[in-house]
């Protein structure tokens, strides 16, 4: 399967949604949906199966596209940044709470599909949306789930380990000092006693 989840626009969408408060798999679920809808091409314009024009990353149709034009307020409505802002503007009324409450990437993908995109169920291709979402989250090197913060028990264990090492080092120094053999006390010998030799004189005859 072509890894559409690794396009530069997919990374921009993912980073934007995470910065707005979505969890990693929830943002990837949106990316998977937009990937199927438009390939995340903000300038895409096609006629949908219902005969209405569809535009932008979410394939907005009238009257939602007219709402986007009003929201853009003179800015380029085909820019990715404007369309991302409008998507977030619409989302509270189109499944945001349910998306935030989701616990799996599959559920999050289906929620965005049904509440925001609302395609015909026989043309929804839910399996492909989920595959693109998983591709964005797990296979794209530019999109990675945030690292888990270090567990508190790990910090405590590391602190206790360091304290144990310090204690062990201190005990080793103590043992080295206390187990040192005492130096022998000096032995003081009395000064040598000299015998006085009296001189002897012989008389000369």
> pLDDT band at 140, cuts 50/70/90?
confident
Q: According to the per-residue pLDDT averaged within each range, which of 30-39, 154-163, 178-187, 191-200 is highest?
A: 30-39
Question: Quick check: 130 and 105 in contact, CB under 8 A?
Answer: yes
Q: What is the pLDDT of residue 7?
A: 85
Kindly state the DSSP code that residue 179 receives in the 8-state scheme.
Answer: T
The H-or-E segment that residue 54 falls in is: strand 53-55
> pLDDT band at 193, cuts 50/70/90?
low
The CATH label, of 3.40.50.300, 1.10.530.10, 3.10.129.10, 3.30.2010.10, for the domain at 4-139 is 1.10.530.10
- Mean pLDDT computed over every residue of the chain: 80
Mean pLDDT of 126-133: 96
> What span, in angstroms and rounded, lies between the C-alpha atoms of 128 and 125?
5
Question: Quick check: 27 and 14 in contact, CB under 8 A?
Answer: yes
- Could you tell me the residue ranges of all domains in the chain? 4-139, 149-180
Beta bridge partners of 47: 53
Q: What is the pTM of this model?
A: 0.68
Q: According to the per-residue pLDDT averaged within each range, which of 125-139, 156-170, 190-204 is highest?
A: 125-139
Mean pLDDT of 161-189: 51
Question: Quick check: 37 and 58 in contact, CB under 8 A?
Answer: yes
Mean pLDDT of 49-70: 95
Q: What is the pLDDT of residue 177?
A: 47
Buried b (16+ CB within 10 A) or exposed e, 58-82: bbbeeebbeebeeebeeeebbebeb
Mean pLDDT of 15-24: 95
- Is the pLDDT at 74 greater than 90? The verdict is yes
């Amino acid at each position: 399967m072509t890894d559409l989840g690794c396009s530069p626009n997919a990374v921009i969408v993912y980073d934007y949604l995470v910065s707005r408060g979505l969890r990693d798999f929830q943002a990837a679920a949106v990316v998977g949906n937009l990937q199927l809808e438009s390939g995340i091409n903000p300038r895409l314009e096609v006629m949908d199966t219902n005969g209405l024009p569809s535009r932008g990353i979410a394939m907005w149709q009238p009257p939602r596209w007219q709402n986007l034009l009003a929201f853009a307020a003179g800015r380029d409505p085909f820019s990715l940044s404007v369309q991302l802002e409008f998507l977030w503007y619409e989302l509270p009324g189109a499944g945001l709470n349910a998306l935030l409450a989701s616990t799996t990437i599959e559920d999050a993908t289906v929620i965005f599909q049904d509440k925001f995109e609302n395609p015909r169920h026989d043309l929804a291709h839910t399996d492909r949306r989920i595959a693109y979402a998983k591709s964005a989250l797990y296979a794209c090197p530019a999109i990675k789930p945030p690292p888990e913060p270090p567990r508190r028990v790990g910090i405590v264990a590391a602190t206790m380990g360091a304290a144990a090492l310090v204690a062990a080092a201190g005990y080793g120094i103590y043992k080295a000092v206390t187990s040192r053999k005492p130096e022998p006390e000096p032995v003081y010998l009395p000064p040598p006693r000299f015998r006085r030799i009296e001189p002897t004189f012989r008389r000369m005859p």
